[in-house]
Amino acid sequence: MAPLKYSKQREAILDFLKTRKDHPTADMVYNSLRPDFPNLSLGTVYRNLALLADLGEILRLRVGDGTDHFDADVSPHYHFICSECGSVIDLEMGNIDEIEDIAGMNFDGQICGHVTYFYGKCGACCKSSMS
C-alpha cells in the first residue's frame, strides 16, 4: 500500500527509541534528536511515530496523562505509571490473557485484545517519600 522510502530521520527516531526504556513522548524524541538534526521538525517526528506504530515497529502508549508515549519494545508486556512522578515503567509479569476469557464469558461479541495499565507509586517515589 505504501511503498515506503528510506529516510535518515525515521531511522534516527527508531534507533533513538530503541536506546530508551523510559517511553518518551513525541516531544522528548524531538528534543533529543535536535542536536543531530538541527532542522528536524516536530511534524516529521509525529508522522514517523505514527507510521512506525502502524507498521507495528513501535507501540503507542496512551497512559492517560494527555500525551502519547512510545515504546520500541513490541514484545508483549505491561506498563506501570507512577501517579507521583508520571514515569512509565516496564513490568515483568506473568501472562494474564485469561482475563479476556473471563471478559468474554457474558459477552456476545468477539474480544481480541486488551490494554491494561497499572498505577501506583514507583520504587523511587516510595523511597523519597519515607516521611
Partner DNA sequence: TTCCTTGCAAATCGTTTGCATAATG
Partner DNA sequence: CATTATGCAAACGATTTGCAAGGAA
Contact 48, 54 (CB under 8 A): no
Site residues (CB under 7 A) for DNA, limited to 61-100: 66-68
Read off the C-alpha cell for 21.
526504556
Nearer to a second copy, 75 or 116 (CB): 116
For residue 31, the partner it binds in DNA, a second copy, none, with Cβ less than 5 to 8 A by kind, is none
Contacting residue, 38, 94, 130, 131, with a second copy by CB under 8 A:
94
Q: Which residues of 105-117 are buried (b: 16+ CB within 10 A; e: fewer)?
A: eeeeeeeeeeeee
The stretch among 48-56, 78-86, 91-99, 120-128 that binds DNA (CB under 7 A) is 48-56
Residue 45 C-beta: closest distance to DNA, Å: 8
Give the DSSP per-residue string, 35-98.
Answer: TT-TT--HHHHHHHHHHHHHHTSSEEE--SSSS-EEES--SS-EEEEETTT--EEEE-----TH
Nearer to DNA, 63 or 122 (CB): 63
Nearer to DNA, 68 or 90 (CB): 68
Q: Are strands 59-61 and 69-71 parallel, antiparallel or unpaired?
A: antiparallel
Q: Is 7 in the site for DNA (CB under 7 A)?
A: yes
Residue 90 C-beta: closest distance to a second copy, Å: 10
Number of residues that bind DNA (CB under 7 A): 27
